[in-house]
Amino acid sequence: MGVVLGVKDGKVSPTRALIGTTTTVLVSYWLYILLSAIVIRAAYKRYASPLRKYPGPFLASCSRLWKVLSTASGRTHLDHIELHRKYGPVVRIAPNEVSVASPEAARTLLSAGKRFFKTPFYGVFPPPENPDIFTETREDVHAQKKRVANVPYSMAAMQQLSPFIDDTIELLARKIDEHIAQQHKWVFDLGDYLHYFAFDVLGEVAFSRSFGFLEQGRDVDNAIKTIDKSQTYNGIVGQVPELDHLLRRNPLWQFIPWLSTKNALITRMALEEMGRRQPFNKDTAVLQTGDARQDLMASLILGHLKDPERFGVGDVFAVAHGAIFAGSDSTASTMQSFFYHVLSSPSTYQSILHEIQSAVSSGTIPATGNLTWNQAQTLPYLQACLKEAMRVRPAVGLNITRLVPPEGAELDGHFFPGGTSIAANGWVLHRDKVTFGKDADEWRPERWLESEEEARRMERYMFQFGGGSHLCIGRNLALLEINKVVPRLLRDYRFELAHPGRELKANASFFVVQSGLEVFVRRA
């Protein structure tokens, strides 16, 4: 005789009755149950955490949604300034994350050897299968790769690449001259042209090839837009990195062509150059670059040939390709901020022109053609303006975030348990009044010239290039090209903002991508 499960002598067993009742309750009240679970989880995150004592937006204390929304707004750098003004030096910006405003805390956070490692945020930046120097979160692997990649980025190596930069400056000057010759009263988008310039320099430096942005005076193949879209994705999804597995790392993603960067101009060119120089050996690496100038890819191939175990073929591609992503918007944004502030302040513009004209008269800098790095260093006011631009509008707008080592750590008098994420935002750090003075919110390049000792002290708390073992690898290149192009433009042209008083449009994806730097231009 068969026994129906849970039914004995015609009676329903208590277990079965319980299952039945539970199912009925779950089905009838699933929405309430779900909402209660969310509320209980959020309350747990908010109150059970050792970070509960730190103030911040309510939403941030119980969910990462605040970070996602702030990043998606493109104004997270400004949000962080407001947050710290409202809540103080340590603000809770996610259940397990605080943002610190103190430059001293940021110095410790970024110091090499303090074992604050990169968070999974960086793992979202492509390519996940072969991380580059920026995206590699394993510190030991990162150190190995950086040892090889550092060589071609030294200032001495960069100076060798000066001819590439000089050619690109000539092209930019030709384009401005063409504009002046055609319709000098028309508005010239200096911001766009500086953007094209930064990209073309990187094409030349990395692959000995120009991307053609300056030549064509436009974003060829929407390459810049594609990069910016990809960075927007990285910035937002990086706040909840697990989501990347459902999105870009999902095999279905490749079927959404407008989201993929695989066919982007820059990636295509990098792949072509890799192909052209394979199989790798000393001759194919350097000689095929045309005039035997050793570009970045050639140096990386030579690094790979010396130590193929530690620096594989994939690393050559990842580092050369990553340089375009890391070095273009960042350098362009820095130059745009510089011109925006200089042209917005008549006294600054007058002083800088006076310095340049005096340097030409005294023969310290040439009256025509390009300047060298050393010549640009003889212009203290220009250097002060550059530092001030990187202080008030650093090119990285998102937080630089690190994990507290397992044993926990103290930062600026606060103890944080192991695994806590600590965020530092350059826009906040560079407005610290104790470090930069009561007028830290203002543009005042003179602050860098008042006392050498003070300037050295402030310099220690500048984070525009990050710090420690993750200090920007491309800073020498960026500074070299900026120091060459900026004084040349100021010497040879006179600019006037087309919309004085109008703010630049700024969208922080990882870098602060800016637009709206429109000027009237004439020859000096």
Q: Which residues bind ligand HEM (CB under 6 A)?
A: 133-134, 146, 322-323, 326-327, 330-331, 334, 395-396, 400, 464-466, 470, 472-475, 477-478
Q: What is the DSSP letter of 511?
A: B
Task: Give the SS3 label for residue 30.
Answer: helix
| Residue environment code for 487-515, b if the CB has 16+ CB neighbours within 10 A, otherwise e | bbbbbbbebebbeeeeebebbbbbbbbbe
Amino acid present at 289 = T
For the bound state, the minimum distance from the C-beta of residue 388 to ligand HEM, rounded and expressed in Å, comes to 14
Which residues contact residue 512 at a Cβ distance below 8 angstroms, ignoring those fewer than 6 apart? Answer: 77, 333, 393, 394, 395, 396, 397, 506
* 238/174 Cα distance (integer angstroms): 41
Residue placing its CB nearer to ligand HEM in the complex, 68 or 473: 473
Q: Which residues sit opposite 100 in a β-bridge?
A: 90, 424
* 424/81 Cα distance (integer angstroms): 11
Tokens 């975030």 belong to residue: 401
Residue placing its CB nearer to ligand HEM in the complex, 45 or 443: 443
Q: How many Cα atoms are found within 13 Å in the side-chain-facing hemisphere of 390?
A: 21
Q: Residue 62 annotated as binding?
A: no
Residue placing its CB nearer to ligand HEM in the complex, 161 or 265: 161
Instruction: Work out the burial of residue 314: count CB atoms within 10 Å of its CB; fewer than 13 is exposed, 13-18 middle, 19 or more buried.
Output: middle
Cα radius of gyration rounded to whole Å, the chain = 27
For the bound state, the minimum distance from the C-beta of residue 505 to ligand HEM, rounded and expressed in Å, comes to 19
Residue placing its CB nearer to ligand HEM in the complex, 95 or 474: 474
The three-state (H, E, C) secondary structure of 58-93, written as one string: HHHHHCCHHHHHHHHCCCHHHHHHHHHHHHCCEEEE
For the bound state, the minimum distance from the C-beta of residue 490 to ligand HEM, rounded and expressed in Å, comes to 18
For the bound state, the minimum distance from the C-beta of residue 126 to ligand HEM, rounded and expressed in Å, comes to 14
Tokens 């500048």 belong to residue: 462
Residue placing its CB nearer to ligand HEM in the complex, 60 or 472: 472
For the bound state, the minimum distance from the C-beta of residue 155 to ligand HEM, rounded and expressed in Å, comes to 13
Tokens 């030409």 belong to residue: 360
For the bound state, the minimum distance from the C-beta of residue 418 to ligand HEM, rounded and expressed in Å, comes to 20
* 332/384 Cα distance (integer angstroms): 18
Q: How many Cα atoms are found within 13 Å in the side-chain-facing hemisphere of 421?
A: 20
Task: Give the SS3 label for residue 421.
Answer: strand
Residue placing its CB nearer to ligand HEM in the complex, 269 or 396: 396
Residue placing its CB nearer to ligand HEM in the complex, 62 or 223: 223
Residue placing its CB nearer to ligand HEM in the complex, 57 or 327: 327
* 252/250 Cα distance (integer angstroms): 5
For the bound state, the minimum distance from the C-beta of residue 517 to ligand HEM, rounded and expressed in Å, comes to 16
320 in Cβ contact with 300 (< 8 Å): yes
Give residue number: closest CB to ligand HEM. 474
Instruction: Work out the burial of residue 223: count CB atoms within 10 Å of its CB; fewer than 13 is exposed, 13-18 middle, 19 or more buried.
Output: buried
Tokens 């979202």 belong to residue: 124
For the bound state, the minimum distance from the C-beta of residue 18 to ligand HEM, rounded and expressed in Å, comes to 53
Residue placing its CB nearer to ligand HEM in the complex, 236 or 326: 326
For the bound state, the minimum distance from the C-beta of residue 281 to ligand HEM, rounded and expressed in Å, comes to 25
Residue of 401, 411, 461, 404 lying closest to 115 (CA atoms): 404
Residue placing its CB nearer to ligand HEM in the complex, 426 or 445: 426
For the bound state, the minimum distance from the C-beta of residue 33 to ligand HEM, rounded and expressed in Å, comes to 41
Chain CA centroid to CA 124, Å = 14
* 82/95 Cα distance (integer angstroms): 19
| Residues flagged as binding site for heme | 472
